[in-house]
Structure formats: C-alpha cells, structure tokens
Amino acid sequence: MSSKGSEVRMGLVGLGNMGTAHATCILEGKVPGLRLTAVCDVDEVVFKKLDKHRDKLELFTDASALIASGKIDAIVIATPHFAHTTIGIEALQAGLHVLVEKPISVHKADCERLIAAHQSDGQIFGAMFNQRTDPHYQRLRQLITSGELGKINRVNWIITNWFRSEAYYASGGWRATWKGEGGGVLLNQCPHQLDLWQWLFGMPNTVRAFCSIGKYHDVEVEDEVTAYMEYADGATGVFITTTGEAPGTNRLEVAAERGRVVIEDGTISFTRNEVETSVFSNATSEAFATPPIWKIEIPVQGNGEQHLGILKNFAAALLDDKPLLADAREGIHSVELGNAMLYSSMTGETVDMPLDGAAYEGLLNKLIAESTVEKKVRSDVTANMDSSF
C-alpha cells in the first residue's frame, strides 16, 4: 500500500500506557506527516482516554477489522507481547506499513515468522527501540564504529534500576506469566538494553546465564539475571539486571585497547590511553607501568526524542525515504539474546549462538503448559496496561 503524499493515515492497536502515549503524540500534531484515523482495543472502556479526539477517530475492538478497514496506511502495534507477532503478520500481509512496540516477538521462532511476512523494502517495518535516539548511546556507537576505542575487550552492563512492586505485577493478569508475557525482566524491561547491546557490540558466540525465578516477587518468570557472553575475537560481556533491587544502578562500562568508557548518571566518561594497552604492554621495560591517560568528559545533552523520535523517523521513512533508525528486522537479535539467557539458565548449559529457535520455542511452550500461577488483578489498578515496562 502506497503512503507517498503529504500525510500517512495511521491506525493504532492497544490503548495501554504506551499505546495511549503514542496516540496522544500523533493526535496533538507532534509528528508531522502522521494522522491518526483509527484506534483499536478489546476493552471499549479505554476509548474514554481519547474522548476529546473522538470526532477524529474510528473505533475498533477487533484488530483484523481495523487492518481490513481500508481506513489506514500504517499501524502501530502496542499490545501485550504475543499479539505483536499475530497482528504484525496480518498487517504486513495486508500490505500495511508497521511500527511494532518492543519486543517485536516473544521468542526467536516467532520473530522469524513475523519478519518473513515483510513483503518488500518499500513496506516500512519499524520497531519502537527508542533508546537508539539517546545521544549517550549514539556517541558510544560512533566511538566504536570509527575505531576510536580500538578492539573491545570487555563489556559490563549493570541495569538494575527497574524496581517493581507487587502492586505492579498485580496490575494485569497477563503480567509476569509465561502464557501472558513469555518472560519477565528480559522480555518486559530489558528489550531496549538488549537491543542496544547488539547494536553497539554485535552478537556473542556463546551465552551462559543464571536467571532467578520469582526471587523477589510472587511471579513465575525471571526477576533477576546474570549473564556471561563470549565473542569470537575474545571479548567478553556481563549483563546484570533485576526488578527487585532498590536503589538500582544503570552503569555501562566498555574496556577497550584505547581506554575505558563509562556511561552512568547521564554522563559519558572516556579514560583514554595514549598508547593501546597491548602495544604498551609489549613495548615497556617497566614491570608495573601503565599507559599514560587522558580523562575526557564527552559532552551530551538530554536523552534524545525517545518514542517521539522513533515516530518522527517512521514518518520520514514513509514520506521522504529516510532510513529507519530502528528496522524491526533487527529486533530478532535482542529477542534471541534474552531467549538464550533463559535457555542457558533452564538447561544449565552454555548456549552456542545462533540460538536454536525451535528448541527454545519448545521449552517455552512446556513452561506455558505447566504454568500453575493464577494471577489476581487488583481492582484499584487498571488491568489494561500494555507491554511497555
């Protein structure tokens, strides 16, 4: 379906927290070129959130009806995780342009099915990886791709500032269940960090992980993870995350031949070696010498346009042939990383990459079938929250 012209007719399915935020951005004219013409949710009550815009919108309670309506050129999918695949495939097969929330699917095999439904390069297929708009990570990527850091030897990311209460997990019956969400902190909170990991450092050769199930909460999925990764060139990585730690930490540390970069508390610090580590080690005659260093604070301001930036980029791709900042086809990598961590932990083995998607799908289906958790939804917290955070 062509969308060339002055504007794109957008549809949106899933009016939870993020879906409503996306809808509001478009309705308030913050995304030039996008006009929201229709929204969909299985719960008609949530349409009240957009009451002041009702005259601009057609309302649907069935995603298939929205997709087949002829009222839209493109669709934003902001539903619980498993529906990303089914609705995404249907929308792509109908010829619509698609922007899908993270993660693009719950597991690698579903990612492959979703990506296979993408018809051509002319059909725009984007993902809501809004952290790619953050100048901190953009500057780090520039340092890596330019060769300024030299070979990377070690990466550590401690991302534990995801504290969530029991009330959070009681806010939706699908939350923190294998059947409803397909995982815990790796599938809900960390897709952005896993995406940034592969965007910055590429995919590892092996993954060994230890995931704690319900360590801090009354849930059946992982709420704490420690993962160790190895790369073909000898680099290593450690990824630590949880929803049970307060106060939490968000510290990304990259140790490379030309020095160390740390992103923490809104700053980028670069302790730069005047001479590459290995070169200095081989050249010096002193037993305890270290390379001379420069201490550099790399200037950055703010965190980018985030979700709004991805929406603007999606519009620019549709109307002006601009490249996508977050191509949804790349979304398989973050899902595969998370799946590999869970698979490693549950099998007690190191996982060779690429992950066997069918084997992980079989394990997940077994977990879903054996689930015995009956979620109780608190009446004072909405049960219609979407998949984001």
Tell me, what's the pLDDT at 175? Answer: 84
Beta-strand pair 8-13/74-77: parallel
Give the C-alpha separation, 21 to 262, whole Å.
31
150 plus 23 within the same structural domain: no
Tell me, what's the pLDDT at 256? Answer: 98
144 plus 241 within the same structural domain: yes
Tell me, what's the pLDDT at 385? Answer: 35
The residue out of 293, 327, 361 marking a domain boundary is: 327
Give the C-alpha separation, 377 to 389, whole Å.
17
How large is the C-alpha radius of gyration of the chain? 22
Tell me, what's the pLDDT at 5? Answer: 65
51 plus 143 within the same structural domain: no
Task: Compute, in degrees rounded to 10, the torsion defined by CA atoms 74, 26, 386, 344.
Answer: 60
* Burial call 18-28: b when 16+ CB within 10 Å, e when fewer: bbbebbebbbe
- Confirm whether 381 is domain-assigned: no
37 plus 122 within the same structural domain: yes
| Residue 38, φ and ψ in degrees, nearest 5 | -155, 145
CA-angle at 99, arms to 96 and 103, nearest 5°: 130
97 plus 108 within the same structural domain: yes
50 plus 170 within the same structural domain: no
CATH number of the domain that residue 22 is part of: 3.40.50.720
- Confirm whether 384 is domain-assigned: no
124 plus 179 within the same structural domain: no
Tell me, what's the pLDDT at 2? Answer: 44
Asked whether the beta carbons of 117 and 125 are under 8 A apart, the reply is: no
Tell me, what's the pLDDT at 382? Answer: 32
Give the C-alpha separation, 39 to 337, whole Å.
32
Give the C-alpha separation, 318 to 2, whole Å.
9
- State the burial class of residue 330 (Cβ atoms within 10 Å of its Cβ: 0-12, 13-18, 19+): middle
From 127, 115, 141, 351, select the one nearest 227 (Cα to Cα).
351
pTM for this one? 0.94
Phi-psi region of 309 (alpha: psi -120 to 50; beta: other; left: phi over 0): alpha
Quick one: which H or E segment has residue 357?
Answer: helix 357-370
From 121, 115, 123, select the one nearest 94 (Cα to Cα).
123
pLDDT beneath 50: ranges in the chain: 1-2, 376-389
Residue 156 is classified by DSSP as E
pLDDT digits (tens, 9 = 90+) for 113-153: 999 999 899 999 999 999 999 999 999 999 999 999 999 99
Count of domains observed in the chain: 2
Give the C-alpha separation, 351 to 340, whole Å.
6
80 plus 225 within the same structural domain: no
Residue 312, both tokens: 């603007």
Between the CA of residue 57 and those of 8, 196, 376, what are the distances in Å?
14, 35, 34
